[in-house]
């Protein structure tokens, strides 16, 4: 028994997507099928259906999942700082006449990456 029926727009709004995206999900079987009238959806089915795509909502994420996501963001920021420092050291090494291969090995990057960074500098 359906307790509440939603329009396609209500479903799209609930998932935080555009109407066209919602219809795309439905056509590919990545969302619940419409009710027998073909124009509405069971709201509970939409709420509980595992949403596809990289943009999935984290609305149902546990506190631990939120902690993990925050830690991941922190690590990503730290990695970016380290990459910046690697580039700085590479440029300094070039000015001081060090070989690209030796610098790449010391920095833990490929020779190609070192060469690209030097070219982009």
- Altogether, the residues listed in the chain come to a count of 121
Looking at residue 62, its pLDDT comes to: 73
Looking at residue 120, its pLDDT comes to: 83
DSSP letter, residue 40: E
Looking at residue 5, its pLDDT comes to: 94
pTM for this one? Answer: 0.47
Looking at residue 69, its pLDDT comes to: 80
List pLDDT tens digits, range 51-69. 876 555 555 567 787 788 8
List pLDDT tens digits, range 19-51. 999 999 999 999 999 999 999 999 999 999 988
Q: Tokens 């056509």 belong to which residue?
A: 27
Q: Which residues contact 80 (CB under 8 A, 6 or more apart)?
A: none
Q: Are 41 and 5 in contact (CB under 8 A)?
A: yes
Mean pLDDT in residue range 5-27: 92
Task: Look over the chain and give the mean of its residue pLDDT values, rounded to a whole number.
Answer: 88
């Amino acid at each position: 028994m359906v307790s509440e029926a939603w329009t396609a727009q209500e479903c799209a709004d609930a998932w935080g997507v555009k109407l066209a995206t919602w219809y795309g999900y439905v056509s590919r079987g990545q969302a619940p099928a419409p009710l027998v009238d073909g124009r509405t959806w069971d709201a509970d089915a939409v709420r509980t259906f595992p949403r596809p795509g990289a943009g999935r909502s984290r609305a149902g994420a546990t506190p631990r999942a939120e902690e993990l996501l925050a830690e991941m963001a922190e690590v990503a920021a730290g990695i970016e700082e380290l990459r910046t420092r690697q580039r700085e050291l590479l440029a300094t090494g070039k000015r001081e006449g060090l070989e690209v291969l030796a610098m790449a090995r010391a920095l833990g990057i490929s020779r190609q990456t070192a060469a690209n960074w030097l070219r982009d500098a």
